[in-house]
């Protein structure tokens, strides 16, 4: 039987090949044997466990199966290595019903495509391309066969793309028109067309290095760019719009100079025209996002990726059409309100937010302030019981995001200071927004607002701002001294949270050993002379923080004699507290 298969001078016996492939895929264990039962004119395969007394028979059965599988493997390897085996592929695919046999035949063909395709006669290559495309069209045009043969169709798609990598566009000019023509026949054909284009774009943009020359890769990229209008025809079809959008993003993310600027401009204009029928340009998108399907959520994410990619590489071609830019920015702004951190990071990190369009920049300032990330700082917040408590934030990812947003907010401030001031004005009852404004404050330097009703939040705001400008304070002694005196006042506050924040800020920020103009002695000396009252209202852990701060000042003194003097005075002060 094996010798009969190896004789490829005549059409291969497909039934024998089916049997060999079936032997290769035998997987029964020692504890199970295969029983075939007749049921409704169909074969039903079941596995039945046997008692231990049948173990010798089972071992013999499994041993025989193992021998058969090994023999089948040897035969299939020989066939796959035969250079004429690929000529039997069409005959096999036409006459077998076994999916395993079909996949084996396609595996043989794939090996030929990768290794010797360009050496084959043109007639044979064209005939194989036509046959594979014909089978794909036939199976994908009918929903039932498309679902039933999905694995087979997927493998055929891979084979088609592998052939296209070699022959398209010069030797296969009808590749795209043929696919488009087939896609018009049914919704499943359209879906499969998008799947083929996605495979092609992935091969061209992601996986081709090492398999094709740089010149060939560039040729395929440019050819795919020229045919991008075909993708737009299927963007409005719900079943294929996600795949179409992914392919469009791949193409629009290409940076290939100014050669195709006109095509990119026209395609972007067509795309935004189609988009108004698919995505609403309103903040309501954020409210409905959690209730829409996973496929629709993926579409929103893909849409954000599309616009950010296009603006990154092709913004200049839209200089003459600001309305088209505004459409894209409006969609990005609406998507930004979606409660999805990954989507927000994708949009927020896009440098093109800084384009000067006042209406959107104003809206963006409000968005940045409302969504401002919290750096590693101590905040005063309300807990679930409504009590004011301290909260420490320490998250590396959040800190990185905070720094990016801070830079963006600085640029937004430079564009329009008056609008920035208006944006940070907030309701006195909105404690959450007060904290958001506080976190955004380092990006712009202007006076804090007066909010008498929520003193604790104002104090937290003030202490936080003080900590953001150590260099400025070090260069302006009188302001620094005023700040320190204010911190000492806060140490007498009746609320322990305020006392904690004052002590923490004093510990972190200030080293005051230099002699300042207009002063009779260094501030640390003045501090040690009569500051027993400063710590009288503090708790033990707060007193320890205060003494640590003074100790840091003393340590910074370069004169050993003065350092020893300050240390003795500090110890004397601590003795009075005992």
Residue with structure tokens 């050496």? 119
Name the pTM for this structure: 0.49
> Would the pLDDT of 153 be above 90?
yes
End-to-end CA distance of the chain: 102
Q: Find the radius of gyration of the CA atoms of the chain.
A: 37
What percent of the chain shows pLDDT beyond 70? 70
When mean pLDDT is compared across 9-18, 487-496, 527-536, 566-575, the lowest value belongs to 527-536
How far apart CA 475 and CA 544 sit, in angstroms, is 28
- Quick one: average pLDDT of 419-423? 72
In terms of average pLDDT, the best of 380-384, 450-454, 519-523 is 519-523
pLDDT of residue 144: 92
pLDDT of residue 49: 43
pLDDT of residue 298: 87
Q: Are 432 and 408 in contact (CB under 8 A)?
A: no
pLDDT of residue 542: 85
pLDDT of residue 222: 74
Cα–Cα distances in angstroms (integers) from residue 87 to residues 93, 96, 163, 495, in the given order: 11, 15, 16, 88
Which region, left, alpha or beta, applies to residue 386 given φ > 0 means left and ψ of -120 to 50 means alpha? left
- What average pLDDT does the structure give for the chain? 75
How far apart CA 276 and CA 288 sit, in angstroms, is 17
Please, which pLDDT band fits residue 39 given cuts at 50, 70 and 90? very low
pLDDT of residue 437: 59
In the three-class reduction of DSSP (H, G, I as helix; E, B as strand; rest coil), residue 212 is classed as strand
Q: Are 183 and 189 in contact (CB under 8 A)?
A: yes
Q: Are 309 and 257 in contact (CB under 8 A)?
A: no
- Sign of the dihedral through C-alpha 316, 321, 326, 329: negative
What is the secondary structure of 333-391 as a DSSP string?
HHHHTSS-HHHHHHHHT-GGGGS--HHHHHHHHHHHHHTPPP-S-EEEEE-TTS-EEEE
Q: Are 461 and 433 in contact (CB under 8 A)?
A: no
When mean pLDDT is compared across 29-38, 398-407, 501-510, the lowest value belongs to 29-38
pLDDT of residue 451: 37
Greater model confidence, 576 or 407: 407
Contacts of 306 (CB under 8 A, 6+ apart): 245, 248, 249, 252
Residue 278: phi and psi, rounded to 5, are: -115, -30
> Would the pLDDT of 562 be above 50?
yes
How far apart CA 145 and CA 192 sit, in angstroms, is 13
Q: 124-148 pLDDT, tens per residue?
A: 999 999 999 999 999 999 989 999 9
Please, which pLDDT band fits residue 381 given cuts at 50, 70 and 90? low
> Would the pLDDT of 421 be above 50?
yes
Alpha helices for 468-559 (secondary structure H): 470-475, 477-490, 496-509, 523-530, 540-555
How far apart CA 248 and CA 260 sit, in angstroms, is 15
Under CATH, which architecture does the 469-578 domain have? Answer: Up-down Bundle (1.20)
In terms of average pLDDT, the best of 160-164, 196-200, 276-280 is 160-164
Domain boundaries of the chain, sorted by first residue: 1-120, 356-464, 469-578
Count of other CB atoms within 10 angstroms of residue 458:
18
Count of other CB atoms within 10 angstroms of residue 262:
10
Count of other CB atoms within 10 angstroms of residue 288:
12
Q: 322-335 pLDDT, tens per residue?
A: 788 888 888 888 88
- Closest by Cα among 356, 366, 367 to 415: 356
How far apart CA 306 and CA 246 sit, in angstroms, is 8
How far apart CA 168 and CA 181 sit, in angstroms, is 17
How far apart CA 220 and CA 205 sit, in angstroms, is 9
Buried b (16+ CB within 10 A) or exposed e, 221-250: bebbbebbebbbbbbeeeebbbbbbbbbbb
Q: 426-444 pLDDT, tens per residue?
A: 554 555 555 565 556 555 4
Q: Exposed, middle or buried: residue 126 (CB in 10 Å: 0-12, 13-18, 19+)? A: middle
- Quick one: average pLDDT of 230-247? 73
Q: Exposed, middle or buried: residue 200 (CB in 10 Å: 0-12, 13-18, 19+)? A: buried
pLDDT of residue 40: 38
How far apart CA 278 and CA 28 sit, in angstroms, is 52
Tokens representing residue 334 in the block: 């609406």
Tokens representing residue 528 in the block: 């040690």
Q: 478-524 pLDDT, tens per residue?
A: 888 888 888 888 888 877 777 887 888 777 655 554 556 666 777 77
Q: 248-301 pLDDT, tens per residue?
A: 787 777 666 676 788 788 888 888 888 876 665 555 677 788 888 888 888 888
How far apart CA 89 and CA 92 sit, in angstroms, is 5
pLDDT of residue 518: 62
Cis peptide before 367 (omega within 30 of 0): no
Q: 332-373 pLDDT, tens per residue?
A: 888 888 888 888 887 777 655 454 456 667 777 788 877 777
pLDDT of residue 376: 57
Please, which pLDDT band fits residue 377 given cuts at 50, 70 and 90? low
Buried b (16+ CB within 10 A) or exposed e, 508-530: ebbebbeeeeeeeebbbbebbee
How far apart CA 496 and CA 537 sit, in angstroms, is 10
> Would the pLDDT of 36 be above 50?
no
Q: 65-103 pLDDT, tens per residue?
A: 666 778 888 888 989 999 999 999 999 999 999 999 999
What percent of the chain shows pLDDT beyond 90? 14
- Closest by Cα among 65, 56, 57 to 26: 65
Question: What angle is formed at CA 464 by the lines to CA 458 and CA 467, rounded to 5 degrees?
Answer: 145
Residue 51: phi and psi, rounded to 5, are: -65, 165
How far apart CA 347 and CA 332 sit, in angstroms, is 7
């Amino acid at each position: 039987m094996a010798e009969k298969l190896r004789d490829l001078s005549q059409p291969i016996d497909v039934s024998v090949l089916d049997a060999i492939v079936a032997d290769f895929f035998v997987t029964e264990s020692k504890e199970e044997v295969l029983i075939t039962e007749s049921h409704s004119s169909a074969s039903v395969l079941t596995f039945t466990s046997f008692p231990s007394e049948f173990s010798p028979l089972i071992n013999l059965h499994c041993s025989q199966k193992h021998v058969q599988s090994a023999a089948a493997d040897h035969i299939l390897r020989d066939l796959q290595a035969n250079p004429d085996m690929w000529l039997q592929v069409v005959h096999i695919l036409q006459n077998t019903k076994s999916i395993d046999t079909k996949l084996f035949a396609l595996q043989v063909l794939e090996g030929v495509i990768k290794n010797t395709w360009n050496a084959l006669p043109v007639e044979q290559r064209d005939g194989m391309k036509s046959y594979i495309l014909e089978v794909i069209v036939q199976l994908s045009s009918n929903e039932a066969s498309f679902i039933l043969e999905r694995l087979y169709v997927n493998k055929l798609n891979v084979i088609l793309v592998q052939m296209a990598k070699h022959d398209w566009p010069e030797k296969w000019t009808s590749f795209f028109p043929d696919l488009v023509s087939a896609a018009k026949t049914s919704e499943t054909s359209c879906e499969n067309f998008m799947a083929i284009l996605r495979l092609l774009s992935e091969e061209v943009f992601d996986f081709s290095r090492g398999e094709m020359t740089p010149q060939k890769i560039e040729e395929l990229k440019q050819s795919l760019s020229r045919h991008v209008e075909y993708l737009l025809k299927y963007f409005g079809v719900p079943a294929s719009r996600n795949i179409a959008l992914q392919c469009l993003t791949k193409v629009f993310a290409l940076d290939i100079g100014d050669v195709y600027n006109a095509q990119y401009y026209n395609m972007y204009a067509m795309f935004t025209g189609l988009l108004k029928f698919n995505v609403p340009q309103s903040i309501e998108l954020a409210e409905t996002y959690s209730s829409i399907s996973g496929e629709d959520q993926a579409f929103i994410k893909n849409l954000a990726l599309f616009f950010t990619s296009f603006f990154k590489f092709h913004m200049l071609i839209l200089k003459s059409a600001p309305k088209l830019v505004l459409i894209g920015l409006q969609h990005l702004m609406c998507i930004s309100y979606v409660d999805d951190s990954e989507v927000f990071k994708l949009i927020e990190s896009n440098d093109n937010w800084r384009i000067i369009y006042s209406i959107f920049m104003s809206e963006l300032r409000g968005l940045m302030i409302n969504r401002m990330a919290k750096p590693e700082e101590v905040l005063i917040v309300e807990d679930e019981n409504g009590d004011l408590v301290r909260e420490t934030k320490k998250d590396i990812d959040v800190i990185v995001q905070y720094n990016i947003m801070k830079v963006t907010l600085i640029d937004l401030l430079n564009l329009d200071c008056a609008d920035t001031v208006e944006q940070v004005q907030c309701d006195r009852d909105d404690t959450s927004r007060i904290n958001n404004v506080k976190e955004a404050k380092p990006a712009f330097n202007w006076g804090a607002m007066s909010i008498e009703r929520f003193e604790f939040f104002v104090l937290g705001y003030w202490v936080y701002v003080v900590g953001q400008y150590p260099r400025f304070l070090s260069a302006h002694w009188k302001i620094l001294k005023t700040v320190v005196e204010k911190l000492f006042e806060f140490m007498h506050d009746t609320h322990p949270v305020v006392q904690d924040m004052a002590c923490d800020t004093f510990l972190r920020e200030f080293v005051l050993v230099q002699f300042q103009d207009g002063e009779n002695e260094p501030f640390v000396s003045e501090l040690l002379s009569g500051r027993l009252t400063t710590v009288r209202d503090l708790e033990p852990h707060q007193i320890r923080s205060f003494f640590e701060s003074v100790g840091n000042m003393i340590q910074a003194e370069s004169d050993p004699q003065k350092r020893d003097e300050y240390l003795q005075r500090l110890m004397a002060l601590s003795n009075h507290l005992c």
